[in-house]
Structure 1
Amino acid sequence: MVINPNALGLDLPPGTMRVQPSLWYADEPATPDTWARLLPAREAAGMQPVLLTETQYLHPSQVADPDDHDPAATLAALWDELAQEEDEGTLAPFSRTWPGLAPATAAPADGRTAPDDTAPDDTAARLTAELAGDDEWLKGARGALVPARRSADIPAVLGWGGATNHTDAVQLSTILRSWEDRFGIRVVGLGPDLLTVSVAAPPRTTADALAVAAEHYAFCPDNVWDGYDTIRAYAAEEVLDRHEWTFWWD
């Protein structure tokens, strides 16, 4: 049973519960503090905060679940399907053989916490404050609460259809779960064909960024195809030390 967060006495903006898919959806566009205001509903009602531009692209599945998939096997299968037809130059520095999962971001060697290595929820709150204020594609997005076990499951629970031409929402959530474990991501924004995550612990070295970029290519090849000649170039610009990863599917 999904609890209506309106009945919990939380400091929420005006909003309405919806069905198929089940979610709470704010009545007005998000403000910079919306995501942070929604976060207490996770503890109180098991509902994950996210910003949605609209709800017409949501098609909930009744049978599939990320528990049914392994993230490494899912990424390998997506990579193999793409790489066999890809120009080898684009794959540089990789070959057509799946390179394997990137390592989790490690703490600094001296044991100190780097100034920008904040907790995942803090990173998400800061990023959504920026996006709600001036990001073009999230302009007009509303806050939403989704009954999901973890942030990574939001696309699967909603039946998000933005990557239909490449893969389904359940496989995306399978991979997002792994990124949540390794890099502290939170799914913070969804549009008709765009997905944004905050990243609390992005890769800090070129080698680690390259390994993550290979996963991004398997997850969303359009990110590389749209503006980059190689995965190496994409890694340097979009992955290394970046606290925001945005994906777009054609």
Structure 2
Amino acid sequence: MLGQLFTGGGDGRVLSIELPPGDVVWPDPGYSQFSLDHRPAFWLSDTVVSGDLWAGLRAEHGRSGLWPVLLEDSVQPWSAGQIAPDAVAEIDNYHAAAFMAEVWADWVQKADAGQLELLDPFGPGCPGPAPSGELAADPGAVADWYAGVIAERRTPLGLVAADRGADALAVMGWQGALNHNEWMVPLAAVVRSWEDRFGARLVGMGFNTLDLSVAAPPVTPEHALHVAAEHWTFCPDSVIYSAGTLIDYAEQIRGRNAWSFWWD
């Protein structure tokens, strides 16, 4: 069953962990933008899973090629197949810096003068991506810890044929940020960049939520403020509704080993 997730049937892939009952999820042809060779988008468990199972599957990712994702629940869009998978190759065409600059400029162009206070101290000038953080722990270990936290919500499991967690956003056809960005590929490019710069790992997602572990978070106020600017372009609702300004939001994420996003 899992072999259906791979082009060529997953020859040479190995998974030694016993899985709970589950089945593959096929995308709705009306939602898909790209042909995936008539393959299912991911595998979905029928039951909730533990953080330990997630950690074991993450450890086997190099051999299995399957990235585990804790899902908010088993209801739509997962079980209904209302998902729009994209070609992973498309992610290579996008870069975090370009996405950030485009979102920033577009918002500034439409904003009233009083709204620019939200972006203090940067104002209308996009600061670009923040410098890399310093690893405080192994990214895999931090991801395993966070999976234990997320699993307390009693979530089912998704398995995705992806070389890295960020790519699961495209492969699964997740549309959680639809009201912010209609195409998930640029967001996957941003998460790839966070994997490289902050040791981020995709752990969970919901209908309109995303949960990442972070092994190299910003620890100074200045660095956190720069990262906050990135988060605002990635998910404005997380900043506006949880903090109101970049300065206040920066204090919320400084030194934290988990980033959670929510789109209205």
Specify if TM > 0.5. yes
CA contact (8 A) 2:134 2:198 kept: no
CA contact (8 A) 1:48 1:145 kept: yes
The alignment partner of 1:226 has SS state of helix
The alignment partner of 1:84 has SS state of helix
- Rounded Cα–Cα distance in structure 1 between residues aligned with 2:11 and 2:137: 30
Q: Which has the higher contact order (CA 8 A, sep 6+)?
A: 1
- How far residue 4 of structure 1 moved from its aligned partner, in angstroms, is 9.3
Tell me the residue number matched to 1:45.
64
Note closer, same or farther for the CA distance 1:6–1:144 as it changes in structure 2 (3 Å cut): farther
- Compute the TM-score of the two structures, normalised by the length of structure 2: 0.82
- Compute the TM-score of the two structures, normalised by the length of structure 1: 0.86
Tell me the residue number matched to 1:68.
93
The alignment partner of 2:160 has SS state of strand
Tell me the residue number matched to 2:19.
12
The alignment partner of 1:127 has SS state of helix
Tell me the residue number matched to 2:130.
102
CA contact (8 A) 2:48 2:155 kept: yes
Note closer, same or farther for the CA distance 1:101–1:127 as it changes in structure 2 (3 Å cut): same
Tell me the residue number matched to 1:175.
190
Q: Percent identity?
A: 40
- Rounded Cα–Cα distance in structure 2 between residues aligned with 1:155 and 1:227: 24
Q: Which sections of structure 1, spanning at least 5 residues, go unmatched?
A: 108-116, 134-138
Runs of 4+ in 1 over 6 A off after TM superposition: 4-7
CA RMSD of aligned residues (A): 2.2
- Rounded Cα–Cα distance in structure 1 between residues aligned with 2:212 and 2:88: 25
- How far residue 62 of structure 1 moved from its aligned partner, in angstroms, is 4.9
The alignment partner of 2:131 has SS state of coil
Aligned residue pairs, count: 235
Match of 2:214 among 180, 199, 209: 199
CA contact (8 A) 2:13 2:65 kept: no
Q: Match of 1:9, as an amino acid?
A: S
C-alpha deviations, 1:117-147, integer Å up to 9, x for none? Answer: 22111101101101211xxxxx342112101
CA contact (8 A) 2:87 2:170 kept: no
- Rounded Cα–Cα distance in structure 2 between residues aligned with 1:232 and 1:5: 49
CA contact (8 A) 1:71 1:174 kept: yes
- How far residue 28 of structure 1 moved from its aligned partner, in angstroms, is 0.9
Tell me the residue number matched to 1:240.
254
Note closer, same or farther for the CA distance 1:214–1:103 as it changes in structure 2 (3 Å cut): same
- Rounded Cα–Cα distance in structure 2 between residues aligned with 1:129 and 1:3: 28
